[in-house]
Chain A
Amino acid sequence: MKSLEELRAIRAKMQGKVGVRAENENQIRVVVGMATCGIASGARPVLTALSDAVQEQNLSEKICVTQTGCIGLCQYEPIVEVLEPGKEKVTYVKMTPEKALEVLRLHLLGGQVVTKYTLGAAQNSL
């Protein structure tokens, strides 16, 4: 069995290396809907993929991944909202881990909204 004692070693190793997690005002907020509708449609792996990628690529200063309840657009779940200071909110719908990582790369890092995955695009194609 793995023991929680290993956390002591992690703590010792990280001593002094932990930066202050200031919520700076320029941070991009990425919100994943995690109510019944989101979870049933596959939001858990989307949330994990985004948060893992942000941690692995050391982006937590720039991007903050959080969860929320039902956004009210259940038929479009899993939904990922991107809230960037000074810009209009972008709502991505029917996300998968792969699409979410594409959004991370092109939009959050590249600054280009991935229009084909947005709510607007999904509504227009009806």
Chain B
Amino acid sequence: MMPEISLNILDVAENSVRAKAALIEITVSVKTKEDTLTVIIRDDGCGMTADQVKRAQDPFFTTRTTRIVGLGLAFFKQAAESTGGTFSIDSEKGIGTIVKAVFILSHIDRMPLGDISSTIHTLVVFNEQIDFKYTYEYDDKSFSLDTREMREMLGDEISFMEPEVSLFIWEYLDNNKQETDGGADI
């Protein structure tokens, strides 16, 4: 079991990386009035057939060959559903996949969101060949990070791994999250 929602996001987004996505969109949306925390991970990777979607939620299914269990999506599904929330996977072969998990915010079994800024930072910096669009919403406020916009401003030569760029990405994510949710304990 993952201790934080943000680690589930990192794990599930790695599926999109392996699915050879060109663009991965991640949305984390906290709605205090509706009492929900919604996570949407959408990619334009290789997608799955209806049968694979069904099996992907089975812990004893994986496409990898190094072990016979694949707990990533099963963990995420269980984490959401154990709060009374919902979980869905929509996928089409050759088009892409959308994973959506809704958590009930105030439920005692909801794990903390955790260090979402580090998760997004890790994904962006270590997968430079993939475009990411991350959106964080807290009630009426929101901010986003789009690596395509970043590339436009930074040019093609400078790597996201350069210390100054990497630090900027982290500060951008962390500061803007603070301003968006006012430092709320989620």
Q: Determine if B163 is an interface residue (Cβ-Cβ < 8 Å).
A: yes
Q: Which residue of B is nearest A32, CB measured?
A: B126
Interface string of A1-39 (1 = CB under 8 A from B): 110111110110110001001000000000000111101
* SS class, residues of chain A in contact with chain B: helix
Assess whether B159 is in contact with A74, with CB atoms less than 8 Å apart.
no
Interface check B22, CB cutoff 8 A = no
A44 contacts which of B118, B159, B171 (Cβ < 8 Å)?
Answer: B118
Q: Assess whether B122 is in contact with A48, with CB atoms less than 8 Å apart.
A: yes
Contacts of A51 in B (CB 8 A): 125-126, 161, 166
Q: Considering the chains assembled together, what is the distance between the CA atoms of A2 and B172 in angstroms?
A: 6
For residue B149, which residues in chain A have a CB less than 8 angstroms away from its CB?
4
Bound form: Cα–Cα A47–B115 in Å: 14
- Interface size in chain B (residues, C-beta < 8 A): 43
1/0 contact trace for A23-65 toward B, CB 8 Å? 0000000000011110110001101100110011000100000
* Contact present for B176 and A1 (CB under 8 Å): yes
| Structural contact, A69 and B158, CB atoms closer than 8 A | no
Contact of A39 (CB < 8 Å), options: B10, B158, B175: B10
Q: Which residues of A contact B33 (CB under 8 A)?
A: none
A-B Cβ contacts below 8 A, count:
100
Chain B residues near A34 (CB, 8 Å)?
Answer: 10, 14
What 1/0 mask marks residues of chain B from 1 to 42 whose CB sits below 8 Å from any chain A CB? Answer: 111000100110010001000000000000000000000000
- Segment from B47-55, B62-70, B89-97, B98-106 that makes contact with A: B62-70
Least distance between B85 CB and chain A CB atoms (Å):
20
Chain A neighbourhood of B2, CB < 8 A: 39-40
What are the 5 A-B residue pairs with the smallest beta carbon separation, nearest first?
A72-B66, A7-B153, A55-B163, A36-B72, A7-B154
Q: List chain A positions with a Cβ less than 8 A from chain B.
A: 1-2, 4-8, 10-11, 13-14, 18, 21, 34-37, 39-40, 44-45, 47-48, 51-52, 55-56, 60, 66-67, 69-72, 74
